[in-house]
Amino acid sequence: MVDLLDGLATLVLLAGAGLVIMEAFVPSGHFIVLGIALLAAGLVGVLAPLEGIALPLLMAATALITGAGAFYGYREFDFYGGKGIAQTTDSDSLRGSTGRVTERVTETDGEVKLDEGGFNPIYKARAFRGTIEEGDRVIVVDPGGGNVLEVESMAAIDEIDRELAADAATTQRERETE
């Protein structure tokens, strides 16, 4: 019985190590949680001086606890985008998103890469007004169903903000002089 459990502990240890190594070659977050749990359980099984039914129970408890901890860490620290921050739920969620022009955007054609645009952040785009050059920062004005985004240059918005701030300052000075 002890030889069988030693073999089981070694097998679990090797399976966990294999899954962790597989995760290194194909990063997805799917193998790492189970791999860490099995690796820890295998280490406990190989190193623990227990015999009989206590060893498999300890290995199972170790696998559950470390698996839960690894899953929590995977979700909390967002190693692979696990929290869904970089996912879009629908085209309306793109409104207000910012990005960078990857191909010159005119009123009829162009391409942008959004900062948080989901699995594939590259979108076809058209300019709200004028032409936006490659490399310029943009904001999504109208998602247009998600197929072709209508974007505006952040520089244009900054100009509007500066004008509004100047107008507000002028209005404030006029109120103070009255």
**In terms of Cα–Cα distance, which of 115, 106, 98, 162 is closest to 134?**
106
How far apart are the C-alpha atoms of 10 and 141, rounded to whole Å? 58
Instruction: Name the domain boundary from 44, 77, 110.
Output: 77
pLDDT at residue 14, as a whole number: 93
Confidence of residue 81 (pLDDT cuts 50, 70, 90): low
Structural domain including 60 reads: 2-77
Pairing of strands 98-103, 111-114: antiparallel
> What is the length of the chain?
178
pLDDT at residue 1, as a whole number: 42
* Structure tokens given for 124: 């076809």
Number of domains in the chain: 2
Q: pLDDT per residue over 94-103, tens digit each?
A: 888 889 999 9
CB 61 within 8 A of CB 69: no
Q: Do 43 and 104 have their domain in common?
A: no
Q: pLDDT per residue over 19-61, tens digit each?
A: 999 988 887 767 889 999 999 999 999 998 888 889 999 999 9
124 lies in some domain: yes
Q: Where are the alpha helices (DSSP H) in 93-178?
A: 154-177
Q: pLDDT per residue over 104-126, tens digit each?
A: 999 999 999 988 766 678 889 99
178 lies in some domain: no
